[in-house]
């Protein structure tokens, strides 16, 4: 198979481990090209992955911290200068912490990484998505969002309490699905469809990596959860399956599901857009001004 026959191009954030790696393998096996935006390296002993890199089917853009705006900007500018289009964007990168942690911008890190950054990536790569065939964006969400008991912009950005999994992590995933819902009509004007997808329960534990999961959940995950290929299939189906013509929906177990706090969706979107315009874009303008 030569590169010219691989007509479809997907961007995957967090593509080098867990669900992202399984999704990368699945797409490569289906003759896609994959553009990976990663913090860590792909496994060096994975022959299929390394062959894909050598043949140019898998193109890697590294960024040490996606929530570091300067580093993120450099990576996105590189993608925009080198890639011609994006058929599907998978905003998949995520991380869970065992305690409160803040980004360089001073916001709670789960929120910055999993709510704000996916919006920045979408906005920055929107032109390439418009050039694509499927014009689809898939945001990786989580069923953990249903455990959110308090939800305000203030509690998202600077929470006063912390609980593993069902605290800032769950609230950030809820906020992600809410702005996904709110932005859908706007993107539809450019023929872009966007959905958030719960990948289900997957064993994504990694040796040597500290988990932000409650101990009992980590144990259950190790013993009973599906391998990451399960989540990869959910994301793949979320992009190309029965709901491919829908937009703004949250897919749970492959079906559209209702979201809590939907009345706050617009305010979440407005806040994140303000961060994008007044921090990410404004900082770039100030740096490049003569």
CATH value at residue 18: 3.40.50.720
Q: 203 lies in a domain?
A: yes
Q: What is the Cα gyration radius of the chain?
A: 18
What per-residue confidence (pLDDT) applies to 5? 74
* CA 206 to chain CA centroid, nearest Å: 19
Model confidence pLDDT, tens digit, residues 88-115:
999 999 988 889 999 999 999 999 999 9
Q: Which residues of the chain have pLDDT under 50?
A: 1-3, 289
Model confidence pLDDT, tens digit, residues 236-256:
999 999 999 999 999 999 999
What per-residue confidence (pLDDT) applies to 258? 97
Q: 290 lies in a domain?
A: no
Q: Report CA-CA distances (Å) from 280 to 62, 71, 119, 172.
A: 19, 11, 11, 19
Domain hosting residue 52, numbered range: 3-285
Q: 198 lies in a domain?
A: yes
Q: How far apart are the first and last CA of the chain?
A: 48
Distance CA 187, CA 172 (A): 22
What per-residue confidence (pLDDT) applies to 282? 85
What per-residue confidence (pLDDT) applies to 3? 45
Domain count for the chain: 1
Distance CA 18, CA 209 (A): 12
Q: What are phi and psi of 223, to 5 degrees?
A: -90, -35
Task: Measure the CA angle with vertex 95, ends 92 and 100; round to 5°.
Answer: 145
* CA 10 to chain CA centroid, nearest Å: 13
Q: 32 lies in a domain?
A: yes
Q: 22 lies in a domain?
A: yes
Q: 258 lies in a domain?
A: yes
Q: 183 lies in a domain?
A: yes
Q: 208 lies in a domain?
A: yes
What per-residue confidence (pLDDT) applies to 287? 57
């Amino acid at each position: 198979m030569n590169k010219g026959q691989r007509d479809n191009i997907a961007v995957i954030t967090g593509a080098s481990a867990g669900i992202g790696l399984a999704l990368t393998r699945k797409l490569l096996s289906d003759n896609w090209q994959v553009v990976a935006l990663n913090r860590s390296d792909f496994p060096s002993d994975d022959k299929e992955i390394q062959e894909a890199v050598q043949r140019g089917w898998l193109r890697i853009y590294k960024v040490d911290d996606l929530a570091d705006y300067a580093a993120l900007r450099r990576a996105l500018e590189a993608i925009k200068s080198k890639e011609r289009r994006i058929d599907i964007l998978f905003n998949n990168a995520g991380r869970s912490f065992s305690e409160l942690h803040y980004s360089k911008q001073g916001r709670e890190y789960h929120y910055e990484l999993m709510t704000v950054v996916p919006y920045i990536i979408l906005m920055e790569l929107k032109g390439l998505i418009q050039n694509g065939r499927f014009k689809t964006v898939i945001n990786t969400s989580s069923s953990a969002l249903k455990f959110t008991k308090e939800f305000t912009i203030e509690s998202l950005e600077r929470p006063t309490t912390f609980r593993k999994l069902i605290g800032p992590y769950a609230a950030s995933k809820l906020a992600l699905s809410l702005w996904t819902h709110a932005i859908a009509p706007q993107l539809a004007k450019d023929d872009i469809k966007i959905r958030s997808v719960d990948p289900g329960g997957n064993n994504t534990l990694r040796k040597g990596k500290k988990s932000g999961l409650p101990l009992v959940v980590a144990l259950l995950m190790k013993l009973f959860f599906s391998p990451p290929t399960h989540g990869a299939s959910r994301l793949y189906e979320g992009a190309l399956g029965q709901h491919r013509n829908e937009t703004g929906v949250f897919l749970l177990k492959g079906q559209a599901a209702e979201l809590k706090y939907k009345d706050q969706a617009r305010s979440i979107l407005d806040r994140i857009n303000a961060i994008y315009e007044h921090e990410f874009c404004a900082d770039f303008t100030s740096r490049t001004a003569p």
